[in-house]
Each structure stands twice: as C-alpha cells, then as structure tokens.
Structure 1
Amino acid sequence: MRSTTVLRVALTTGLLAGAATLGLTQAAAGEAPLTAAATPAPASSAVISAMQHDLGLTRQQATTRLAQETAARGVERAARRAAGASYGGSWFDAGSGALVVAVTEAASRDAVEATGARVTLVEHSQRQLDSTMARIDALDAPAGVSSWHVDPKTSSVVVDVVSAHKDDNDVRSFVTRARAAGPVVVRQTAQAPTTYAAGTVGGDPYYTGNVRCSIGFSVYGGFVTAGHCAQPGASVRGWDGSYIGNFQGSSFPDNDYAWVNVGSGWWTVPVVLGWGTVSDQLVRGSGEAPIGASICRSGSTSHWHCGNVLAKNETVNYSQGAVHQMTKTSVCAEPGDSGGSFISGDQAQGVTSGGWGNCTGGGQTWYQPVNEILNRYGLTLHTT
C-alpha cells in the first residue's frame, strides 16, 4: 500500500473516531436529501486556508462567509414559501452576507423579508423562467452553443455561445429560436465544455476499462459518480487494480450521474479527500448551497480547489449531447476529475461532470447535483 494511502486511512480513522461515527472506507458517498445542521461544526483551519488561497479572502472573511452561507441555506426554503407564486429565484450575496430573493410582486416583500432574506423585484417568476428553459431544452443545439441556464439576477435564461462561433448560421438560428421561447440574454464564453474523464494514468482514482475517473460521495452500499465514465454493468477497479464493484446505474447524456456498488474488501465512509491540501472532510448532509456560495471540489487529477456557485439549472451542450439541470461553478478541474466531489462546508453538493480550462489558467466546471442522483436511484448518503 502506498504511503499516501496509509496517510489517508490514518486521517480518515481519526476523523471518524472524533465524530463517533461508523467504520472506515476507501470509496466515497451519497444520502437522502438533508438540510444543513442547525449548529454546523466549525470549519477546519485547512478549509479556511483553501478558501483564503482560492477565493482571495482573509481568514476572518472565510470564517464569516461559511457561517453566512450556512444561515442562507436555512433561510432559502422559508423565503421561497413566503414568496409563493411571485418567487423569482434566489442567490447568496457575498458582499452583504445575505440571501437575496427575487419576487415579481411587491406585496410579498414583507413576508419574504421576515424570513431574514433581502428582497429585489424582478419581471419574471421562477415558473416562467423554468418554462422558457424547458422550451429551449427542446431545441437542437449546435456545437457553438455552450450552455444555457435560468439566471435569477437578470430574470432571464442566459444562453452562452462560444465566441469563435457566435456568427455561425446555426448558432444565430438557435439564438433566434431561443429568444422566441421567452426572456433570454445571450453571452459569450471562451471555450466549449468537455467532460473530465481521462486515459489510465497514475493517481488515486478508480478505473473502468482504460478510463480514469474520481469517486464522488459514499452511499450505503457504494458510491456515486459521473455517468459518462461508464455504462451499467462496467467493472470498476481501485487505485491498486483490485476489483471494487460494478456500475449499477448510469445516465449520459441528458443526465451525468451513476452509482457503483462496493464490495470485495472495499467499504464506504462519509469522507471527501483533501489530498494534503486540506484535511479529509467529513460529510454531514446534502443541504443545497445557493448561487453565490463558496464551494470546493476534490478530484484525482487536480486534487482540491475552491470557487463559487455561478448558476443552477443549466443545460450544458457537450459534443456527446446536452445534459440538464447542472450547476455551474468557478472551480477549475482537469481530465480524470470526472465524478469527483463538490462540497460546501460539510454539505455534499454534486459530482463533477465537465467544464473548460484547467487549474493553471483557470476555467469553469459543472456538477450534477447529488440530491437528484440519490432520488433517482433510491440511495442514502453516508454521513456522520
């Protein structure tokens, strides 16, 4: 066994013993949708340091922001109920440290503000924007269209086109049809997204065929990961070449999620690897982080990096086909990171799908939300 793996097992043992939770593991995780704990455990100094490095925050700013984001997760459900049919979306505002809720009717302002959220008036409701999104999803998108998502800040569906292809006839035709579907804003992006699977190389991943991907989150009986890594039935090997299990379910494109059963001497723990950049992180739930919240990613190629949630419910147009209901982030990733963990504080968020750029020059990465995966396959996230 490699020294790095010995170190990780030791770290994991310490984490689980300190939390008085169940056994060891060497796979990864997932659970039924849970909200953040009312009194979250304090963030480790390593997580704070990572946020300082990747987000440019001071130590105090990082500590304060994590507390504010935890509070925002708790406010979001109540604020949405208070807004009712006038709800137009929400996001975390790092400047004020508060959740901002968009509403279409001024009459609902007081009820929403009573939940602790800030309120802004917009033209279109979430229901209207989702309907526009659905109509655009039904269109056949050319390769020059990168993605599209509901954006509550602009009260529109934002369509991203690759700059080099913005004047292509098929792109212009798609944009025309998208605008006819409802409120649309068109923006340009530097590159088209790609998935992050890779050929077999060294590291601490899992392998299927000649493809290397990364474990997402442990669920009872296995782990969740990206669907583009393999088809149902595919055999999975660990970093040492030993048999772990098989893909029990997989969907790509349309979705990008899968789950793998674990056996043959492998087992699961509620931990995300910090790769020595931060300490290994315990998973305590899957409360969804709002737009604007900080988020970190763990993968077998580029290891640990942090950024912000940029958008939700985005359709990503890969060369293999469109994938729906993705979350976009400013976190970098590289080939081999596919399937890896996105986590906000101690809350599981999703599994890495793809993106553009790298961890030298920067870029953007999308993940498939973990709660959707758990619900689809009837899985339970392994938590402390």
Structure 2
Amino acid sequence: MRRSRLRHLGLAGLLVLGGLTAAGTLPASAADASSTSSSASSDREPASAGLLDAMQRDFGLSRAEAEDRLAAERDATGLEPVARRAAGTAFGGSWFDADAGELTVALTSDAAPSTVQAVRATGAQVRTVEHSARQLDAAKARVDRLDAPAGVSSWRVDHSANTVVVDVVKSERADNDVQNFLERAREAGPVTVRSVPSAPRTFAAGTVGGDPYYTGNVRCSIGFSVHGGFVTAGHCGRAGAGVSGWDRSYIGTFQGSSFPDNDYAWVSVGSGWWTVPVVLGWGTVSDQLVRGSNVAPVGASICRSGSTTHWHCGTVLAHNETVNYSDGSVVHQLTKTSVCAEPGDSGGSFISGDQAQGVTSGGWGNCSSGGETWFQPVNEILNRYGLTLHTA
C-alpha cells in the first residue's frame, strides 16, 4: 500500500494558514510541492542508510554484507562493457552472480582461446553457452512480431538460461490460442516456457478522493472520481494544465476550470490511471465508498479527506454562501462547514455518509486550533461539465 508514502508527501508539504477573519479567508489551495524535496548533499555516502536498511530487510543480509554487495555490484557495472568488448561476436550475455559477488560473462562454444583469456583478464567469470546474445535478441524480436493472447503475460531474453523465456498464466497454459502462440514462438528460436500465477497489471493508481496530485509545483487533492476523470478545485489549475499523481507519474489534463466566481475543475485521466468510487480514510476510518450525491442539510455531519491533513469531520453550517477570499477572489454558492483544512487539502473530498458533497475550496484556521472551510457543491460541477459521478 502507498499510504505511508502519501502521508509523508502530505506532511512534508504542510503550510499553516493561520487564524484569519471570515472576510480574510484564503483558498486552501495549494501547498508548494517544492517544499517536499530536500537538497542533495555533496558529501553523501555511497549508499544511504535507508538503502542499506532495505537490503538488510529484503535480502536477509547484515549491514556489512549489504555494503559488500553494493560495492561488488558497482564493480560489475563498470566491468561489463569492458568484458563485452573483449568477448566480441562470441558474447552470449552477462549477469551479476550475487552468491559469488562477481560478473559472469557467457561465451559461445566457438570462442577462440584468446577471446576466453581476454574476458577472464577483465576479472569476469566465463560460462560456455550455445547461443550468442545476438541470436537470442533476434529470436525475441521475432516473438515480438506475434500477436499474444491474454494468457501469455511476457517474454524476454534470459542470458543465464541462454534462451528466450515466455511466461504463461498457469490457468491458461492449455488454452488453444496460448498453445498456438507457443508453437510459433518456438519456431522463432530457443524458447523456454514458464508458468506464472496471474497476468501482470500496471501499478499506476486509481483516482481516489483525498489523494494528492501535482500541477507544476502545486499540490492539491482529488475530489471525486467521475467517468473519465475526477473533479477538484478550480484554483488548483487552469484548463490545459498537465497533472501528475501521488507517484509523480502523468495522470492527465485539466479539461475545464473556473475560478473565481466558482471554484471547480475537472481533470481527464489516462496513462494507466482509472477512476475509483472511493474516498480515502487515511487509516482514521476505512476508505469510504461513494454511492451518490444527495445534498446533506445544514446541521448534518460531514467529513473531509485531503492530502495534507487527511480525515477530519464537522457539521454543515450553511449553503449558498458567498466567500470573499483575502486575495480579492469572490466565490459564490459555497457550502460552509466547521471542518478544518490546510494548504494542499484544496480540491479534496467532502462526503456525508456515502454521499459526495463537494470539493474543498478554502477556509480559515488550521487543524491544530480549528477553523471553518467551504466547499463547492459537487452537483454543480457535474451539471456544469456534463459529468457522471463514479459510484459504487
């Protein structure tokens, strides 16, 4: 799960609004994303403590063993191009042998003794193989031209096995289309088939309410998923602006945006991202499903999810309020709440039960001393752009 990463991003970008009067409120806007990055140190250690800790945890190494392995990998990385040149046309591939801590270079059986000696002189270990790297690459290129059915998950050159390995989903191994693909793949060259438990998927994320997104150096929060994208605050970006997600991968583009007078926008998504009818609970509560957008009355409880201060609740204080922000921006038809917010929470989700209410616009105060926050009603945004809320 990525929530610990999100929590870090949110808190690192935190800015305090401070206590302001109602007439001097500010858009919750935006935290400057540049505040989440730190300057690199010129005298940085070769390996960070975090990297060494991760290697100890994931590889079962001691700290000294982790340091030794990193040093051996650095040596192998520098050695590989030298050994490759020494191997010439007999080169069958190379790989780092973690157990031995050395680079291994494959050479075809017809390699001249002088070639073998030259490769060993570089410090690499030598293994004799049947097929050259060039032959394996050509075989894979031929497989690339085949149309693969869904049951075939991937294929690649494996130099240590001296073959092209084709991964097939175990449950689809007997499928006729899979068998036809494998038959044609074997005609392309040396192929080994491996079973895998499931098909691969991308690890880009769904657009989840409360998650952070970035426009340039500005961080805001996703409001609600709609079919084709998500809605958020207008002051977070103008139409045509590109948007990246919590992991800094590209999400999509602002398709419409209005601020001031209104404070709403919608972003189209693509590039492996998809819409999800969920609002983050940030571990305070379970993540909340969105089932509709019925308007909560004044006095009803309401909660907000945002990428800076996460999950907070309060009550609806007023509908259709006109707000005059301290920068002179006037926004109409906002709903007032007793929920706190801070910079970076802008655009995030207001939800009552399982009903979407709106996207965070701005407010006064903070989540330490309290305050009030306004949101742009979600139904107005849906009607303005002809969008359909993604519901469970």
User: With structure 2 as the length reference, what TM-score do the two structures score?
Assistant: 0.50
Residue 362 (1) aligns with residue 370 (2): yes
Alignment-derived partner of residue 193 in structure 1: 25
- Read off the aligned partner of 2:350 and give its amino acid letter: F
Encode CA deviations 1:46-68: one digit per residue, 9 max, x unaligned.
Answer: xxxxxxxxxxxxxxxxxxxxxxx
Alignment-derived partner of residue 239 in structure 1: 246
Alignment-derived partner of residue 386 in structure 2: 378
Matched-pair contact (CA < 8 Å) for 2:32–2:218:
yes
Residue 285 (1) aligns with residue 284 (2): no
CA, structure 1 residues 340+190, in 2 after alignment: closer, same or farther (shift >3 Å)?
closer
Alignment-derived partner of residue 214 in structure 1: 221
Matched-pair contact (CA < 8 Å) for 1:191–1:356:
no
Alignment-derived partner of residue 179 in structure 2: none
Alignment-derived partner of residue 327 in structure 1: 335
- 1:268 aligns to what SS in structure 2? strand
CA, structure 1 residues 351+190, in 2 after alignment: closer, same or farther (shift >3 Å)?
closer
Give the superposition deviation at 1:325: 0.2
CA distance in 1, matches of 2:211, 2:352: 22
CA distance in 2, matches of 1:354, 1:314: 12
Alignment-derived partner of residue 340 in structure 1: 348
- Among candidates 218, 231, 243, match of residue 224 of structure 1: 231
Greater alpha carbon shift after TM alignment, 264-273 vs 189-198: 189-198
* Structure of greater Rg: 2
Greater RCO between the two (CA within 8 Å, min separation 6)? 1
- Read off the aligned partner of 2:26 and give its amino acid letter: T
- Read off the aligned partner of 2:315 and give its amino acid letter: N
CA distance in 1, matches of 2:216, 2:309: 21
- Read off the aligned partner of 1:240 and give its amino acid letter: D
Alignment-derived partner of residue 352 in structure 1: 360
- Among candidates 259, 269, 275, match of residue 252 of structure 1: 259
RMSD value, Cα: 2.2
CA, structure 1 residues 2+297, in 2 after alignment: closer, same or farther (shift >3 Å)?
closer
Residue 274 (1) aligns with residue 274 (2): no
Give the superposition deviation at 1:192: 1.7
Alignment of 1:82-101 (within 5 A): none
Alignment of 1:45-194 (within 5 A): 189=21, 192-194=24-26
- 1:269 aligns to what SS in structure 2? strand
- Read off the aligned partner of 1:285 and give its amino acid letter: G
- Alignment identity in percent? 80
CA distance in 2, matches of 1:316, 1:191: 7
CA distance in 2, matches of 1:275, 1:254: 31
CA distance in 1, matches of 2:320, 2:212: 28
CA, structure 1 residues 269+345, in 2 after alignment: closer, same or farther (shift >3 Å)?
same
CA distance in 2, matches of 1:190, 1:308: 17
CA distance in 2, matches of 1:191, 1:242: 38
Segments of 4+ in structure 1 off by > 3 A? 1-7, 201-204
Matched-pair contact (CA < 8 Å) for 1:250–1:259:
yes
CA distance in 2, matches of 1:238, 1:223: 12
Matched-pair contact (CA < 8 Å) for 1:253–1:320:
no
Give the superposition deviation at 1:301: 0.1
CA, structure 1 residues 380+209, in 2 after alignment: closer, same or farther (shift >3 Å)?
same
- Read off the aligned partner of 1:194 and give its amino acid letter: L
User: With structure 1 as the length reference, what TM-score do the two structures score?
Assistant: 0.51
Give the superposition deviation at 1:5: 6.7
Give the superposition deviation at 1:3: 6.1
CA distance in 1, matches of 2:4, 2:381: 30
Alignment-derived partner of residue 14 in structure 2: none
Matched-pair contact (CA < 8 Å) for 2:6–2:212:
no
Alignment-derived partner of residue 316 in structure 1: 323
CA distance in 1, matches of 2:349, 2:329: 23
- Read off the aligned partner of 1:333 and give its amino acid letter: A
CA distance in 2, matches of 1:216, 1:368: 10
CA distance in 2, matches of 1:266, 1:276: 23
CA distance in 2, matches of 1:320, 1:270: 35
Give the superposition deviation at 1:2: 4.0
- 2:276 aligns to what SS in structure 1? coil
Matched-pair contact (CA < 8 Å) for 2:6–2:246:
no
Greater alpha carbon shift after TM alignment, 311-320 vs 231-240: 311-320
**5+ residue gaps, structure 1:** 8-162, 165-188
- Read off the aligned partner of 1:365 and give its amino acid letter: T
Give the superposition deviation at 1:190: 6.2
CA, structure 1 residues 217+3, in 2 after alignment: closer, same or farther (shift >3 Å)?
closer
